[in-house]
Amino acid sequence: MITIISLILAYLIGSIPSGLIIGKVFYKKDIREHGSGNLGGTNTFRTLGVKAGVAVTLMDVLKGTIATLVPAWLGADIHPLLAGVFSVIGHMFPIFAGFRGGKAVATSGGVLLGYAPLLFLLVFLVFALGLFITKYVSLASMITAVFAVLYTLATNHEDIPLLIVLLVMATFIIYRHRANIRRIRNKTEPKIKWLSSKKNRQ
């Protein structure tokens, strides 16, 4: 019973619609009706600005971290990463927001923060570098997801649960970004304006 409660709680934590809450409470906007219509941090940045984007991203990260720690807090006999996966599913398909959620990036990062903080720091640096080079949040996210799998396979392959979960989360992230992949190919994917060159911003 505790195991089931832990997984349900992890899903419900992941389902907390950070972007919807910040948008409606502080900006009187439903960000699902603006930009890409996504509830994640990227659309929040574009729709509501930097402060809101940072707040939503941090909240989404914490959802994954807290959910990963739930089994230990409740004394459930399950691997913490399993609860983390349930939080990611909740983020993508939130019961509190009509099952229309985000793309799993920040919450997946939060799962890593709760389970392997040093790996989280490394993938955060890879994401930052990828974003700086490509100017695409979507592409940097996918590069980071693939890197996390390959790095763990090369350095910590004995941690089978981590490898499996990283593969699952990378699959989630790439699948949820399939429209972004098409736009990147068509050169219609928007770049991060404050990282773009002056020429590109004009």
Res 37 pLDDT > 90: no
The mean pLDDT of 39-65, rounded to a whole number, is 92
Q: How sure is the predictor about 202, in pLDDT bands with cuts at 50, 70 and 90?
A: very low
Q: How sure is the predictor about 191, in pLDDT bands with cuts at 50, 70 and 90?
A: confident
State residue 199's pLDDT score.
44
Report pLDDT digits (tens) over 120-143: 999 999 999 999 999 999 999 999
Report the C-alpha gap between 107 and 34 in whole angstroms: 22
Instruction: Please name the amino acid found at residue 14.
Output: G
State residue 198's pLDDT score.
46
Mean confidence (pLDDT) of the chain: 92
Res 43 pLDDT > 70: yes
User: Which of 48, 1, 3 lies closest to 26 in space, CA to CA?
Assistant: 48
Q: What is the pTM of this model?
A: 0.91
Taking the domains of the chain in order of start, what are their residue ranges? 2-201
CB-CB contact of 29 with 23 (8 Å): yes
Most confident option among 46-50, 127-131, 191-195: 127-131
State residue 200's pLDDT score.
44
The token duo for 82 is: 């399993």
In the chain, the N- to C-terminal Cα span, in Å, equals 58
Report pLDDT digits (tens) over 174-189: 999 999 999 999 999 9
| CA distances to 18, 94, 98, 118, 132 from 102, in Å | 10, 9, 12, 25, 22
Report pLDDT digits (tens) over 74-131: 999 999 999 999 999 999 999 999 999 999 899 999 999 999 999 999 999 999 999 9
Q: What is the CA radius of gyration of the chain?
A: 17
Report pLDDT digits (tens) over 1-27: 999 999 999 999 999 999 999 999 999
